[in-house]
Every structure is written in C-alpha cells, then in structure tokens.
A and B are shown apart, each in its own frame.
Chain A
Amino acid sequence: MDTAQMNSIVFSTASPDAGLKSVIEKNPADIIKLIGDSGLRGRGGAGFPTSMKWRFASEAKNDEKNIVCNADEGEPGTFKDRLVLSEYADIVFEGMTIAALAVGAQKGILYLRGEYTFLVASLESVLADRREKNLLGKNILGRDGFDFDIEIRMGVGAYICGEETALIESLEGQRGEPRNRPPFPVDTGFLGQPTVVNNVETLAYVSCIAAKGPEWFKGFGTEKSTGLKLFSVSGDCEKPGVYEFPMGVTIAELLKAVEGEGAKAVQVGGASGQCVPAEEFGRRVCYEDIATGGSIIVFGQERDMLCVVKNFLEFFVEESCGQCTPCREGNAKLLEGIELLEKGKCSMTYLKELCSLGETMQLASKCGLGQSSPNVFLSVAKHFQCELMGRIN
C-alpha cells in the first residue's frame, strides 16, 4: 500500500473489468469512437487525442501491432503513476487490453522506470491473476481470435526515455535518442510495427470511460479539456500527494486543497513546465490555458527562485541525450548564465541574450526536452527579475 496523501480518486470506485466486459463484443471502430466521444487526451502532458492515436494505429496495415504503456514517469515532481500502479494496476492493464482490442494489437509492454523496481513483484502478480481469469492470453473473455499479453520492461535511468520515440529506441536495445517524426510510432514504432504509446493515467481513464460511458467523462472539465486529471503535488504545502480534479481547475483551488495558499509561485508541469507567479494563481490548468502532465511544485515565500532555476537546469544538462546541438549546448550555456547571475556578474544585455538563446532552443531542438527546457528560465527571468539582478554574496 502506497501511503501517499490523496483525495478520493475515481479509480478507487471502478468495478473490476466492467469497462473491458462492456466493450468485448464491440468492433474496433466503435471502441475508438467511444473514446473519441469522451474527448480524452493524453495525460502524460502532450495532450494528443487518444482516439486519434488509436485510429491511426488501427488503420495501419501490419499483422503485428503493440500497445506500450509509458510508465517512465520521470518529470520532476510527478509521482501519480507510482500511486496508480501500486493501487490500481488492474485498471491500467484493463485499459491496455481495451486499446489492444481497438487497434488489433497482440503484444503489450509496460515500460516501467528503473526507480520503480519495487513495484515489479506486485505488478507481475496482477498480470498472473489476469492470465488466470482469461483477461489476458488467448481468446480473451471468449472473444474468438482476441489474443493479447503484457510484459514488463524496465527503464535504465534516463529521463529522455519518457519521450515516446526514445522509449521505443530503448525497447529496441538502442541508446534512448529520440527519432525524427514522421514517421510516427502509430505506423512505424517498436520493431517497425504500428505501436500505440499511452500514459499510465490515460489508460486507467480509458477503462473508466468504457465502463461509465463518454458522457460521464465529459461531465467534468471544460469544452476542450474534458474529464478528470491527476495532479502530483509537492513542495511547500501541508498536504503533498496525489489529487484528482476536473480539468480547468485553477491553481488557487489546487493550493487550497493541499494547504499551500501562501505560495510565492507554483511550477506547473515539472522541470519542462512553467513557473507561475502568485498574481496569476487564477489561471486554469487545462489545454486552453496551462497544459501539464500533472506536476505541481509549490514554492513558499522564502524560496530563492534562482536556486530553483539552477536545480532545473542542472537536471536538463544531466538528462539531455546530447543528440542535437540546441539542447546539448543551450542548456549548458543557460546554466553558465545562472552561475553568473548567482555571482551577481550578469549584465542585463547578457540576460536578454540568454533569453533569446532560450527561445531559439524552443524552436530548434529536436524533441520535447530541448523545446521545453528553457521554459522555466524564461518564466523566472520574466516574473522574478527582481531576484536575479545585482546579487551580492
């Protein structure tokens, strides 16, 4: 039992395999339509419509297809998947099975980050139990020709492997360097086969939607961001933990729930997200405003924002795969700039140059890591300039 603090999460009320049982007779197109009607978008952060991914993979011509559950949760401040996999692994595997039925996949892979090795024994026993109940294996639940099984593959300590093409490279035994896209994994993925990569949380919601219907899910959230979302909250608050809210929740509402109201700023979306100052706490977390994978880090009044940015940039210098120049060199350059700021030896002209370097990285980097790593530097340079300039040690 994971002892994380949490509010009441819808997964705790899911009846076992109600979703899978209710779609087992349906044809793939109807299942994809059902998920499409719910408006579910990828919960890992990028927010790509889940049903579209499934449709592309379903239409791809290949006898062998794969469903990969991305459990390489590495974004700083994110731990919701840890909780979901330790408490509600069944509905994640159920979601993978529903996805397999929808796209015609035979092979499932749970790509679990190496840091969560302690979860493997319990996950394996859930899988064994599902095989026993014919929820995995051959002719699942009596549906002729529906064969699907899931294996667990362990990550090896690389943040970049949360990016779906890097994850696939890693599964294929390569360095975790992102691929150029297109082609997308839905037509050329693992071993060149069509592959759907979905986040743990996305797949868990798939099971709930299959059981309760798309209208239930659409009853939460906003027009473009339907449904519920899990948030991992840490930092300067009384009740850090995993919380479920409808999409569109404001930062102020979130802070109230976790008792972190006096905060100076909140980092939404982890290291690759943005730093939101107190005067903007009325902003909403959804695709229309601030999109996120759910990491919320609260900074109290006494926090030095320069230390915060430094920590994040050290993270990116360490975790950049080194493949493309803007990310490999840019992050190192930004970190050098922070060290200058720390010493109080950075001119305003140079700070502006660094900001423009950051904007170049956003445009020119190959994958999401380098495109988003300058975000925190830029938002702190914008909102907390008063803390950065002319420091005296």
Chain B
Amino acid sequence: MLTTEREQMVSDINGWIEENGPDRSSLIPVLQEVQKKYGRITSFSMQKIADLLGIHPVEVYGVVSFYSFLNNKPHGRFVIRLCQTISCEMAGKARVARQLENDLGIEFGQTTSDGMFTLEWTSCMGMCDKGPAMMVNDQVFTKVTAEKVHNIIEGCKQSFSAFSFSS
C-alpha cells in the first residue's frame, strides 16, 4: 500500500497517543516520539496531537517552543550538541567548536545543506569530569578533542549509509 508521509504520521501519532493515554500528561512523551522519528514537529503534527488530546494547537506550540530538545524547524539526521558550560569550557570546548564548524562547513545553529548535520550548543550535560563533552542525537562523546571531531562525523556518515543500504 502506498502511503504518504502525512498518513504515516497520523497513524504514528494515533498509536503513540493510544500507548500513552489520551490526556494532557501524554503530550511530552508523544512529542518526543514525533521528534525522534521525524526530526521535527511540524504544524500539521501539532494540530493533529492537539485534536486528539482536546487542547488548542497553540498549547502544543507553547510546549514545543519552550523545550530545547523539541523543534519545529527542520533538523539534520544527526544533531550535534556541544556543551558550552563552564567545566567543558575550561577543558577546551572552544577548539572543538571551531573544528566542528570547519569540518561541517556550518556555524552553530545551522544545518548542513544535505540535511545530515545540525550543530547546536547545549547547557551542562553532566559530563563535567570528562569534558569537553558533546552529544550526537542520544549518544554521548566525552574528552573530545579538535582532531577527534573528524572521526566522529565520519562515524555518523558511515552508520547512516549502512542503515540506508540495509533498509
């Protein structure tokens, strides 16, 4: 059966709401699922979730815009978040940041044109004893150095192509 991405999304959202229960306290877990699978939370999905939970879509937008791990703008397949807080700063995050920009060809807050990588800052991620630290999606990298950045990025690309070929 041929389904459009929208139809797929509606059926996913229905499933997640059924799983978590049709009340407001399910909102964030459902948004997290949408974020994880689709990389962003579109106006369409916000409207759909609002309808199913019986709340105004602006309520959903208010939540999406509040939390830094939820986005309504397109994000790359790999979201790289470098810790900008004090212990990682003292451990040398500035050079890692510079090299991430060099190797990805984008600045912080941007996404590569092929849609693969988004580069962002994040606040303290609890890896202060092993800084500089960064996350690539849910995976945590510690004691990152400027010269290790290249291999981390290559690792992402390889895992993506392995995934694409196998599926």
Contacts and interface: CB of A to CB of B under 8 A. Distances in A.
A74 B123 contact: yes
Contact of A156 (B68, B87, B129): B68
A76 B123 contact: yes
Contacts of A315: 84-86, 123-124
Nearest to B68: A157
Interface residues of B, number: 37
Interface string B121-146: 01111111111000100111000000
A118 B126 contact: no
A21 B138 CA distance: 36
Contacts of B26: 173
Interface string B52-81: 010000000011001111100000000000
A100 B85 CA distance: 36
A311 B85 contact: yes
A175 B123 contact: no
B12 interface: no
A79 B129 contact: yes
B86 A232 contact: no
B127 to A, nearest CB: 7
A324 interface: no
A336 B70 CA distance: 28
A176 interface: yes
Contacts of A156: 28, 31-32, 67-70
Nearest to B124: A76
A297 B86 contact: yes
A202 interface: no
Contacts of A321: 66
Interface string A184-213: 000000010000000000000000000000
A73 B124 CA distance: 9
B24 A173 contact: yes
A241 B135 CA distance: 20
Given A5-B129, A170-B28, A158 B87 contact: no
B126 A115 contact: yes
Nearest to A308: B86
A314 B84 CA distance: 9
A26 to B, nearest CB: 32
Given A115-B135, A116-B126, A240-B129, A76 B69 contact: no
The 3 closest A-B pairs by CB, nearest first: A173-B27, A157-B69, A234-B128
Interface of B: 23-29, 31-32, 53, 62-63, 66-70, 84-87, 89-90, 122-131, 135, 138-140
Interface of A: 4-5, 73-79, 81-82, 113-118, 153-154, 156-159, 170-176, 191, 232-236, 240-242, 267, 271, 297, 299, 303, 307-308, 311-312, 314-315, 318-319, 321
Given A77-B128, A173-B27, A174-B24, 6 more contacts: A76-B86, A77-B87, A77-B124, A79-B127, A158-B68, A173-B28
